[in-house]
């Protein structure tokens, strides 16, 4: 049996690092409807997945569903009418192909993508497909060209990579003697750190391979051979202990592990099923699936007790889906002593008097009951430490939540970063937008176009007048909106820019005018600048930043961030532009951006609100003393609130139409921290 196992593994190793010549094959439409190719869900006894369709008498492996649950990828030996041709060897290797099933209008359709190029897996955010040391990024039209993980990974013969929400990857090392180690690499500041070996609890025995790290990093599943009497691969799991260490390996039971080999396990993106491969005979490998409750049943009691006290998390499928589909929590989760493994976000305890602490906790519980509307999270940082964390309604830890118009405040901070790095100056704020855009034909612009400065656009006073119907017509021809053409088109179709039009008008393309300037003045454009010089530096990796019709990053909405990462952006404002002790944003810019430059005139804004550069500010009265609060604000209840005098940052997310939570923040939360 040892020879059979080694033979099976050798085949897998060879297939993982080889290219194969495969004839073209047309896509085949199949009448398969419903989740999981319309297959009947299994119970606690593993069942063959899609018998005679995916699992056949041939070799198939690496079934993986996308987090969006509308794609399935796997690899199989090429099947033709002349089956004997498939068994011919080319340089000692069998031919295999990379296949996708795509669900459209509830029907799954098959498509052969290419020859096999590795073992595919998908990141929980649905943005990256890994193939060993290589990976592809999802694009509007499919997938990018193959990229490499980096020089730190080139020395390893990697069969499979899996990733967590935080970007940590786990991978194996294929060796001929079975002594390869399982390793992980954290994603920090925009890149993966040097790989480290998992501890002996995981790296014991031989032929350890195919690690699957849970999206929340709470466990790792892998296959390997342990014990002198063992001759085939079995599946094991290690749960993360409360202190962050990895627990002893637990072997899956006999319902999963059999006298043959089980390998390459992973949990479906919705968290419902465990998929794995089983060696069924000479060159026959099939896919099995089983209810993921089997994992919970293996969890030690002390881990269950610890897990019950942790913040609720979202599955990968929920994270990329609609917030409307997220189940509502039965009660609020509240933590007054949160912990953090993110070195860019320190954590501490809520150090308040018993009465004040109780008032904040009670507020979170009442929010969970829906007393004040539909709010999903309330997090508090004081003196640069996360001291309070609560989730309610549809809120989840590690969930990148829609920011709505709070995005405008983040765009403002991006301008401040560009000033700090010398791509703009404070004096540039008073220069015309068009002076930065070298591709603009000024002869075709409306009268007064030069009056729109960065300052005017940042205070919602650009003065454009483009009718909604006209804009909808322009959107039908996206080519004329790409890059600087957006500004060209807007200024060609706008009414003249005058003193009368340059008054506060919320929205009105102002944020995209600013983003076009950022794109023009930064070396590699706005998208690269936001990622490399802002998000990566703040160690923000779990996010979604949508693209505008112009091809530029959105500047006024359609951005998703986690609640914890919202606190980081607020800390930049509280610390006058400093990040971890170093100047990150121009302090002069932060001061101006959060000052009272404009009296907003929209009737839905409270009278006491004032406006700076996409940041609001308002006085908060506490026992006769006035505290000034600055905040980025988005519809539905998204807020990053900064109270400088109290070293306080508050992050709120929600999906409430009325959005009146500031009453409770002003009357309960802020007073709790005031002396």
Beta carbons within 10 angstroms of residue 468's beta carbon: 7
385-391 and 333-335 as β-strands: parallel, antiparallel, unpaired? antiparallel
* Two tokens, residue 365: 């519980």
Beta carbons within 10 angstroms of residue 439's beta carbon: 10
Distance CA 561, CA 563 (A): 6
Rounded to an integer, the average pLDDT of 217-239 is 91
In terms of Cβ atoms closer than 10 Å to its own Cβ (0-12, 13-18, 19+), residue 626 is exposed
Q: SS3 for 438-503, per residue?
A: CCCCHHHCCCCHHHCEHHHHHCCCCCCCCCHHHHHHHHCCHHHHCCCHHHHHHHHHCCCCCCCCCC
Would you kindly state where each structural domain of the chain is located, as residue ranges? 2-29+43-307, 322-408+526-675, 424-521
Distance CA 178, CA 5 (A): 11
The predicted pLDDT at position 81 comes to 54
Distances (CA, A) of 332 to 107, 312, 362, 375, 509: 38, 10, 10, 10, 38
Q: Binning pLDDT at 50, 70 and 90, where does residue 601 land? A: confident
Distance CA 533, CA 328 (A): 36
- What contacts 186, CB < 8 A, 6 or more positions away? 166, 167, 168, 192, 193
The predicted pLDDT at position 283 comes to 83
State in Å, rounded, how far the first CA of the chain is from the last one. Answer: 73
Q: How many residues does the chain have?
A: 675
Rounded to an integer, the average pLDDT of 81-109 is 73
**DSSP-derived secondary structure for 621-668:** EETTEEEEEEEEEETTTEEEEEEGGGTEEEEEEE--SS--THHHIIII
The predicted-structure confidence for 119-135, as pLDDT tens digits, reads as follows 999 999 999 999 999 99
Distance CA 38, CA 148 (A): 35
The predicted pLDDT at position 266 comes to 97
Q: Which helix (H) or strand (E) holds 390?
A: strand 385-391
Mean pLDDT computed over every residue of the chain: 92
Cα 511–chain centre separation:
24
Report the predicted TM-score, pTM, of the whole model to 2 decimal places: 0.91
The predicted pLDDT at position 140 comes to 86
Architecture of domain 2-29+43-307: 6 Propeller (2.120)
The predicted-structure confidence for 499-534, as pLDDT tens digits, reads as follows 999 999 999 999 999 999 999 999 999 999 999 999
Distance CA 207, CA 181 (A): 9
Closest to 162 measured CA to CA, from 203, 118, 215, 204: 215
Distance CA 594, CA 605 (A): 17
Q: Strand pairing partners for 98?
A: 75, 114
Distance CA 486, CA 553 (A): 13
Q: Binning pLDDT at 50, 70 and 90, where does residue 461 land? A: very high
Q: Binning pLDDT at 50, 70 and 90, where does residue 6 land? A: very low
The predicted-structure confidence for 283-330, as pLDDT tens digits, reads as follows 899 999 999 999 999 999 999 999 999 999 999 999 999 999 999 999
Tokens 């936001």 appear where?
A: 530
| Domain 322-408+526-675: CATH class, spelled out | alpha beta
The predicted pLDDT at position 82 comes to 54
């Amino acid at each position: 049996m040892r020879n059979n196992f080694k033979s099976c593994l050798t085949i897998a190793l060879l297939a993982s690092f080889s290219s194969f010549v495969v004839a073209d094959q047309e896509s085949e439409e199949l009448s398969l409807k419903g989740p999981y190719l319309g297959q009947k869900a299994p119970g606690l006894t593993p069942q063959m997945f899609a018998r005679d369709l995916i699992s056949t008498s041939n070799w198939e492996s690496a079934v993986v569903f996308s987090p969006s649950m509308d794609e399935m990828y796997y690899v199989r030996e090429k099947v033709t009418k002349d089956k004997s041709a498939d068994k011919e060897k080319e340089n000692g290797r069998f031919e295999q192909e990379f296949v996708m099933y795509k669900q459209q209008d509830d029907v799954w359709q098959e498509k052969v993508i290419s020859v096999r190029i590795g073992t595919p897996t998908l990141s929980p955010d649905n943005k990256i497909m890994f193939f060993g040391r290589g990976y592809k990024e999802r694009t509007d039209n499919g997938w990018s060209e193959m990229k490499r993980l980096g020089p730190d990974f080139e020395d390893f013969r990697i069969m499979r990579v899996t990733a967590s929400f935080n970007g940590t990857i786990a991978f194996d090392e294929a060796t001929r003697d079975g002594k390869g180690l399982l390793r992980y690499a954290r994603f920090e500041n925009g890149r993966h750190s040097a790989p480290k070996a998992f501890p002996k609890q995981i790296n014991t025995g031989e032929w350890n391979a195919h690690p699957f790290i849970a999206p929340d990093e709470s466990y790792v599943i892998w296959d390997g051979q342990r014990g002198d009497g063992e001759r085939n691969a079995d599946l094991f799991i290690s749960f993360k202990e409360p202190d962050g260490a990895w627990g002893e390996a637990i072997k899956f039971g006999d319902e999963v592990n059999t006298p043959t080999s089980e390998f390459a396990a992973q949990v479906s993106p919705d968290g419902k099923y465990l998929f794995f491969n089983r060696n069924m005979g000479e060159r026959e490998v099939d896919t099995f699936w089983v209810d993921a409750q089997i994992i919970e049943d293996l969890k030690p009691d002390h881990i269950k007790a610890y897990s019950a006290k942790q913040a609720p998390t979202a599955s990968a499928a929920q994270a990329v889906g609609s917030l409307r589909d997220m189940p509502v929590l039965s009660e609020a989760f509240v933590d007054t002593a949160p912990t953090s493994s993110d070195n860019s976000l320190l954590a501490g305890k809520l150090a308040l008097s018993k009465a004040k602490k109780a008032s904040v906790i009670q507020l979170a519980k009442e929010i969970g009951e829906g007393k004040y509307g539909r709010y999903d999270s309330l997090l508090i940082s004081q003196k640069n430490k996360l001291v309070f964390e609560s989730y309610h309604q549809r809120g989840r830890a590690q969930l990148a939540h829609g920011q709505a118009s709070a995005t405008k405040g983040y765009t403002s901070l991006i301008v401040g970063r560009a000033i700090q790095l010398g791509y703009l100056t404070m004096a540039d704020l008073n220069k015309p937008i068009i002076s930065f855009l070298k591709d603009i034909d000024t002869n075709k612009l409306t009268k007064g176009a030069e009056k729109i400065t960065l300052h005017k656009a940042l205070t919602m006073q650009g003065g454009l007048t483009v009718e909604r119907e006209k804009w909808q017509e322009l959107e039908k021809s996206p080519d004329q909106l790409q890059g600087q053409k957006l500004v060209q088109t807007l200024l060609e179709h706008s009414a003249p820019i005058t003193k009368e039009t340059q008054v506060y008008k919320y929205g009105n393309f102002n944020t995209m005018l600013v983003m076009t300037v950022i794109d023009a003045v930064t070396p590699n454009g706005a998208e690269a600048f936001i990622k490399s010089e802002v998000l990566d530096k703040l160690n923000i990796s779990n996010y979604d930043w949508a693209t505008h019709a112009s091809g530029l990053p959105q500047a006024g909405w359609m951005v998703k961030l986690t609640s914890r990462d919202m606190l980081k952006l607020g800390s930049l404002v509280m610390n006058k532009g400093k990040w971890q002790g170093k100047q990150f944003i121009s302090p002069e810019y932060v001061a101006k951006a959060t000052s009272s430059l404009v009296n907003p005139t929209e009737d839905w804004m409270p009278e006491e609100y004032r406006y700076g550069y996409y940041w609001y500010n308002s006085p908060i009265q506490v026992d006769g003393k006035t505290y000034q609060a600055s905040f980025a604000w988005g519809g539905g209840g998204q807020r990053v609130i900064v109270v400088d005098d109290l070293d306080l940052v508050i992050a709120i997310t929600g999906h409430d139409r009325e959005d009146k939570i500031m009453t409770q923040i002003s009357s309960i939360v802020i007073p709790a921290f005031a002396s």
